[in-house]
Amino acid sequence: MSAKRPVVLITGGSRGIGAALARLASSRGYDVAINYRSERDAAERIAETCRAGGASAVICRGDVALEADVLRVFDEAEAALGPLSHVVNNAGITGRSGRLDKADDATLRACIEVNVLGALWVAREAARRLSRSRGGLGGSIVNVSSVASRLGGAGEYVWYAATKGAIDSLTIGLSQELAGEGVRVNAVSPGITQTDIHERSTGDAARMERLKPRIPLQRIAQPEEIAEAILFLMSDAASYITGANLPVSGGR
């Protein structure tokens, strides 16, 4: 009888980095639960790609900004695939780009609700499900932060940078709380990455090309490059790494 495949839940898994991670993880021996908020067709296409490669994959609708949705997503993922071994806290938004003094209340609240409260709810539930003292398998949590947390996002989205600073702190503190539970907690901090978040969320389709000269490697990251870093932190190759935050930013 073959060994059971590890199971990873990816929030915000229907597009961008999350979708790239689902495809790669499924090809590297993981079964995959893909969380999405509204784009069911996109999530199902990613799941079908995963299944075509031999993995089990399920899609789980839910808005991470709603606690009840987060709990339901975890329940559905485990009901379909069995106990989780990994959780990737990836869902996030930026809001439309601009200066903080021109940002409206709705933008600030939405970013905090998704990027901070949502990430905390996902991390809390992951801790409850993975911790060995609670009957979990152990495993790992990877939080998706951003180099914006140390660059500041001036003139673009200071509020987004601030929410990612919260993710950095979450990673450090939770890694210490769960170290004795068989659960490692790390983060990746992507730089500018070739996804549609720039046009869809910021309204600034030209942003990537405008900022490319600031990147020492002089190119934009592909989502698969961020996914590879996440997979490394999930893997046994990173078994002695916890509380770390890996920049994947081309030197920026």
Residues annotated as part of the active site: 160
What DSSP letter does each residue of 96-133 carry, written as one string?
S---GGG--HHHHHHHIIIIIIIHHHHHHHHHHHH-GG
Residue 88 is encoded by which pair of tokens? Answer: 């990737």
DSSP secondary-structure letter at 35? E
Beta bridge partners of 246: 188
Report the alpha-carbon distance of residue 52 to residue 46 in Å, rounded.
10
Expressed in percent and rounded to 5, the helix, strand and coil fractions of the chain are 50, 15, 35
**Euclidean distance between the first and the last CA atom of the chain, given in angstroms as a whole number:** 47
